A and B are shown apart, each in its own frame.
Chain A
Amino acid sequence: GQQVMQIPQYQHVQEGEDFTTYCNSSTTLSNIQWYKQRPGGHPVFLIQLVKSGEVKKQKRLTFQFGEAKKNSSLHITATQTTDVGTYFCACRNSNSGYALNFGKGTSLLVTP
């Protein structure tokens, strides 16, 4: 099935700094989803990107889908302590048709 690689694995920023996580695939993706998991919590859906070159914004979060639909990024402007958690990208498993394969995630730590 399709796999996605995420970088970096960890990121530690000061509150107010920006943060970006990247998700890369060796194959073309039909779509990509992003999830956030707070420490001790469960993954929560953030957004789905479908179109080539798509850019979506949610307040301080900006999501991009690459032109070739092989990569995606999540950018957080002016991080806050509430942004702490692990951010996962996920793509559909083409072999199974519907199951989501998750990247290993980027763990974000924000210190005041």
Chain B
Amino acid sequence: DAGVIQSPRHEVTEMGQEVTLRCKPISGHDYLFWYRQTMMRGLELLIYFNNNVPIDDSGMPEDRFSAKMPNASFSTLKIQPSEPRDSAVYFCASSLVPLTGELFFGEGSRLTVL
């Protein structure tokens, strides 16, 4: 299996621009998670989906952030408009239930907002 695939790996943009991060989970995994990692706040859960349905989005910072999962093999995290404080590494992870429940992380998308 190719694992969780994220794109882009790196994104540098200017404040106010729209950013779209993409994720392809492992085939057959029912759960998909979006995390954000910064030095100050560590790994924060933003939102997660079960069978393409958002279950908990309480970690989404504000209305500028939105996430969708139109089908079982694709999810997006969008930031509009982006701000410098959004600079972080964004990880997507997927999990197969009800086995071990471990998360399989993608390699992350490093976002820099100037």
Q: Which of B63-71, B78-86, B94-102 contacts A (4 or more CB under 8 A)?
A: B94-102
Q: Interface majority SS on A: helix, strand, loop or mixed?
A: loop
| CB 8 Å contact bits of B70-114 with A (1 = contact, 0 = none) | 000000000000000000000101010100111111111000000
Q: Does B18 contact A (CB under 8 A)?
A: no
Are A103 and B103 interface neighbours, CB within 8 A?
no
Q: Does A45 contact B (CB under 8 A)?
A: yes
Please tell me the number of chain A residues within 8 Å of chain B, measured between CB atoms: 22
Given contacts A98-B48, A98-B50, A101-B45, are A42 and B97 in contact (CB under 8 A)? no
Interface size class of B (residues with CB under 8 A): 20 to 34
Besides A96-B58, A100-B103, 13 other A-B contacts (C-beta < 8 A): A33-B101, A42-B91, A42-B105, A43-B93, A96-B48, A98-B31, A98-B55, A98-B95, A99-B45, A101-B45, A102-B42, A103-B42, A104-B42
